[in-house]
Structure 1
Amino acid sequence: MALHDPSSERRERVLETATREFARRGYEHASLNSIIRACGMSKSSFYHFFDSKAALFETVVTEAMRLLGREIDVPAPRELAGPHFWEHVTRLVTELLELAGRGSWFAEAGKLFYSADSPVEHSPALRGAISSVRDWLDEALEVGRECGAVRDDLPSSLQASLVFAALRCLDDWSLHHLHEYSERERERIARAQLETLYRMLAREPGTAGNR
């Protein structure tokens, strides 16, 4: 039987509240006082967990990435190689879109990656997360090109930059809007997004339904 840990619960409440505050108002305009009041804490209790807004933001990003790893089994790029490349990609993108459509605090945390004033230059956690995603994508595209699933008529660096920009656009929109639609509409939009990626990248003409 797990022991009740009120300290851990308070910390989680602060992180969830802070995530929504950062997502709604941006990093610069987010108010620690508003977060503290919403959590029903004293300032001394808050500073027991986090000594600054920057430290709080870092923890939010780190925790979000940890939860992403727990929620979704992201394969190593080399595991995508072979005739089932697009099946693996479809599964991964579908799971990510489903997560974005839940409207949970985790989805709110995802918005921080696209906020205009997110402190990328001063946030090692945010820089590291973005770099990890880009490295994974670069290697996945290279695997796809090697196994014949991804077109290779563009320089690999240009293709990677185009796809990274497209995925950021799709992810940003999904995090902000996908939860506004019914489950049936979300499924339709998800299929359309997958079709868009497939048309951009597939070596041979076709449709997502024929993968």
Structure 2
Amino acid sequence: MARTIAKDHDLKRAQILEASARLFAEEGYDRASMSSIARACGISKANIYHYYDGKDALLFDLLDSYLMRLRDRVCGLELSGLAPVARLRAILTEVLLAYEGADHEHKVQLNAMSALPEAEQEHLRAYQREMVKFLSAALRDAAPETFAADKGKLRAVTMSVFGMLNWHYMWNAGADTHDRKGYADLVARLTLEGVAGL
């Protein structure tokens, strides 16, 4: 007979993912064990195996959930009616707002994704590629004269912009919504106007 799923299954799973993200970010994925994960979650080791077969399965679910939410939030923006530069600013702002409260998940993505099998990494990179493509189109539309004939330059600028956004948490720990919006504006201006435009 199949095991029934508890009514609070999704809530418990979300709590496990949140506690695991914190543990992996602060102590490192390699150093974490299923026992330490269970302790961080406040449940028994046997109970954590009710949700995940092992540490790799937990890591994949953590990153899959995080990147899917991020992709859906960023690529699902309603941008119709906005001028190209305003669309770019809206995307940059949404990325930083989506990162708010997710520093642990973001750090795990940057530092631990390579621990997963290649097929799972490729699945996760697909989310990243969708966001890169979305931002790249916004950059091209905001500065068509710069990027129209140079796809290599467009890709380099797109990845540089993501680099600025992705490492924001390193030097702006605890940044609030206002700070994130301000930084998104700075990145947009720096990208489109250069340092002289600041």
Q: TM-score, normalised by structure 1?
A: 0.72
Aligned mates of 1:168, 1:143 — CA distance in 2:
13
Gaps of at least 5 residues in structure 2 are 1-5
Counterpart residue number, 1:37: 39
Alignment map for 1:172-191 (pairs within 5 Å):
172-181=166-175, 184-191=178-185
1:114 aligns with 2:110: yes
The answer to whether 1:88 aligns with 2:87 is yes
Shift of 1:207: 5.7
- Give 1:14-163 correspondences, 5 Å limit: 14-69=16-71, 72-75=73-76, 84-100=83-99, 102=100, 104=101, 106-115=102-111, 117-119=112-114, 122=117, 124-138=119-133, 141=136, 145=140, 149=144, 151-152=146-147, 155-163=150-158
| 2:23–2:32 Cα contact (<8 Å) kept | yes
State the Cα deviation string for residues 12-59 of structure 1 (Å, max 9, x = none): 111101111122233222332221012221121111110111100000
User: Structure 1: which 5+ residue stretches go unaligned?
Assistant: 201-205
Q: How many residues align?
A: 192
Deviation at 1:124, TM superposition (A): 3.8
1:95 maps to a residue whose letter is E
Q: How far off is 1:121 after superposition?
A: 5.9
1:139 and 1:184 map into 2 onto residues whose CA distance is 24
For residues 117-170 of structure 1, give each alpha carbon's deviation from its aligned partner in whole angstroms, at most 9, with x where no partner exists: 532662544433334433553465357547863513763034303421x13421
After superposing the two structures, state which structure 1 stretch, 136-145 or 17-26, moved more.
136-145
TM-score (structure 2 length as normaliser): 0.75
RMSD, aligned α-carbons: 3.4
